[in-house]
């Protein structure tokens, strides 16, 4: 997965199994045969090449990650990030958009879907009419949206509550819809486990839910390259890793 990160940078999602190899070849792709330099940060590591390219690498579940020592070489740092990503966990996933939701529990590594429920509720689009008609339509739409979010919260509470204790919760779908659930008391103890990583996904069908482990276990890399090289090396990254 790749998307723009702004300021000449882009984001890459690299699976844990491929990450040490990605780091090992990072400097080579930038014309340097030696290993890249590495700086350990708070829950992340930045690898730098001699030409100024930098790869800021964030592990999944960074909230529970800590470096065992103040310093590490590039190979060790890459291995520690990859090992953290591969720790077996029980992870709750809640995807919600107005009108659709999916809740699931994944266990182990690679994560396997242990329990899930997907549902939908009708929520009409916005009306172009004016006057009283528009106001009545807006009230009806607000009621439909509230019922849809209530169903999403009830489903997530049921799915998350009938299995083993969760180690983390991953949210996704539409950020505005997910934010509406923050104050629901049924979800309070689960949302306290929510990671910072938010999965922007389309209509949360079951197939979309089943595909989420690839995203929530990946190591996210903010790659900044020297001007003029981003297009060439970006294509190389996409061919080799994605």
For residue 201, give the CATH number of its domain. Answer: 3.30.420.60
25 and 59 housed in the same domain: yes
164: pLDDT strictly greater than 80: yes
The DSSP letter of residue 165 is P
Beta strand residue intervals within the chain, DSSP E: 2-6, 9-14, 37-41, 44-48, 54-58, 89-97, 100-108, 112-120, 168-173, 194-199, 219-224
Output the six-digit token pair for 2: 């790749």
What tens digit of pLDDT does each residue of 195-237 get? 999 999 999 999 999 999 999 999 999 999 887 655 444 444 5
Q: Strand 9-14 to strand 54-58: parallel, antiparallel, or no bridges (unpaired)?
A: unpaired
144 and 198 housed in the same domain: yes
Q: Could you give the number of structural domains in the chain?
A: 2
> Contact, 204 vs 118, CB < 8 A?
yes
71 and 109 housed in the same domain: no
173 and 95 housed in the same domain: yes
193 and 223 housed in the same domain: no
120 and 192 housed in the same domain: yes
165 and 47 housed in the same domain: no
What tens digit of pLDDT does each residue of 128-145 get? 444 445 565 455 556 666
- Structural domain boundaries, residue 157: 89-215
Output the six-digit token pair for 85: 């990503």
145 and 209 housed in the same domain: yes
The pLDDT assigned to 240 comes to 38
112 and 33 housed in the same domain: no
CATH code of the domain covering residue 7: 3.30.160
7: pLDDT strictly greater than 60: no
Distance, CA of 188 to CA of 211 (rounded, Å): 25
159 and 224 housed in the same domain: no
72 and 93 housed in the same domain: no
Question: What percentage of the chain exceeds 90 in pLDDT?
Answer: 67
> Contact, 106 vs 112, CB < 8 A?
yes
pTM (2 d.p.): 0.83
95 and 160 housed in the same domain: yes
């Amino acid at each position: 997965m790749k998307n723009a990160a702004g300021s000449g940078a882009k984001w890459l999602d690299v699976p844990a199994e491929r990450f040490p190899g990605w780091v090992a070849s990072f400097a080579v792709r930038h014309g340097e045969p030696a290993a890249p330099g590495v700086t350990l940060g708070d829950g992340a590591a930045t690898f730098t090449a001699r030409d100024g390219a930098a790869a800021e690498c964030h592990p999944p579940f960074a909230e529970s990650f800590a470096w065992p020592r103040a310093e590490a070489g590039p190979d060790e740092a890459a291995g520690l990030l990859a090992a953290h990503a591969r720790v077996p966990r029980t992870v709750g996933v809640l995807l919600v958009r107005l009108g659709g939701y999916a809740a699931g529990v994944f266990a182990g590594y690679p994560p396997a879907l242990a329990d899930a429920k997907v549902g939908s509720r009708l929520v009409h689009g916005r009306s172009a009419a004016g006057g009283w008609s528009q106001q009545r339509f807006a009230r009806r739409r607000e009621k439909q949206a509230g019922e849809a979010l209530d169903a999403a919260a009830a489903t997530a509470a049921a799915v998350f509550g009938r299995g083993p204790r969760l180690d983390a919760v991953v949210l996704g779908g539409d950020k505005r819809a997910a934010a509406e659930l923050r104050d629901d008391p049924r979800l309070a103890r689960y949302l306290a486990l929510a990671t910072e990583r938010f999965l922007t996904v389309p209509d949360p069908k079951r197939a979309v839910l089943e595909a989420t482990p690839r995203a929530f276990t990946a190591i996210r890399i903010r790659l900044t390259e020297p001007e003029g090289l981003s297009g060439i090396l970006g294509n190389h990254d996409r061919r080799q890793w994605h």
